[in-house]
């Protein structure tokens, strides 16, 4: 038997979820400062259920929501057993054959656990202008386009992995810029996760 949901409570809950995602999107802009994000609006923050189905998104380019979904599905498929998925983990993708539309669209997905159980995912995605590859217009194959990652764990149990961070940023022309974008996506997921769990606690 399906329990009926009070439509007013549902709308209040949905709007609170959306406001959390908007806060996550604001966080990206505040940490990154990239013109592509702050002025161009090329970012997206979204929530997904434990299986990767879209719950709600807030972003400047909405088709990015499917990129994070694909990243979550691959994370579940590839990494559930090894190295495992834990609270505070953040997985980085920018391979367009796996998730997203091109290498410049970089994705961070993070699991949300409550009382030891995976209950949702947070995804953040931005356009980052430096990938270490050939300048625009010169690429003839994907190997010319720069760094390409398929779900490497950038943060583990809430701690940034400095070795992985360096491995990504030092392949680019502007490590500081790329590093800020990486940290912006991590911060956005952290904010969204904290607010999501507080909302779940409030609603029981």
Please state whether beta strands 117-127 and 150-156 pair in parallel, antiparallel, or not at all (unpaired). unpaired
Q: What is the pLDDT of residues 10-44, one digit of tens each?
A: 888 889 999 999 999 999 999 998 888 888 888 89
Q: Are 165 and 154 in contact (CB under 8 A)?
A: yes
Q: How far apart are CA 151 and CA 107, in angstroms?
A: 9
Q: Are 117 and 73 in contact (CB under 8 A)?
A: no
> What is the reported pLDDT for 140?
85
> What is the reported pLDDT for 1?
56
Cross-sheet strand order for the sheet of 54-59: 54-59, 43-48, 117-127, 105-114, 90-93, 150-156, 159-160
> What is the reported pLDDT for 6?
83
Say what angle helices 175-203 and 7-32 make with each other, to 10 degrees: 160
Token couple for 82: 């090894």
Residues of the chain with pLDDT under 70: 1-2, 59-64, 204
Enter the pTM of the model: 0.92
> What is the reported pLDDT for 2?
60
> What is the reported pLDDT for 203?
77
Tally the residues of the chain.
204
């Amino acid at each position: 038997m399906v329990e009926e949901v009070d439509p007013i409570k549902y709308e209040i809950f949905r709007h609170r979820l959306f406001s959390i995602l908007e806060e996550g999107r604001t966080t990206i802009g505040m940490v990154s400062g990239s013109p592509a994000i702050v002025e161009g609006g090329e970012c997206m923050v979204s929530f997904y259920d434990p299986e990767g189905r879209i719950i709600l998104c807030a972003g400047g380019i909405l088709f990015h929501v499917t990129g994070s979904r694909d990243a979550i599905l691959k994370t579940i498929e590839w990494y559930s057993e090894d190295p495992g998925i834990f609270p505070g983990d953040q997985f980085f993708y920018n391979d367009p054959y796996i998730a997203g539309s091109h290498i410049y669209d970089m994705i961070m997905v993070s699991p949300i656990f409550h009382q030891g159980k995976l209950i949702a995912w947070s995804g953040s995605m931005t356009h980052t202008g430096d990938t270490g590859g050939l300048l625009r217009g010169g690429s003839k194959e994907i190997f010319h386009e720069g760094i390409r990652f398929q779900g490497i764990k950038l943060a583990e149990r809430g701690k940034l992995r400095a070795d992985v961070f360096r491995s990504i940023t030092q392949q680019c022309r502007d490590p500081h810029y790329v590093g800020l974008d990486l940290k912006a996506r991590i911060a956005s997921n952290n904010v969204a996760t904290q607010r999501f769990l507080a909302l779940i606690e409030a609603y029981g």
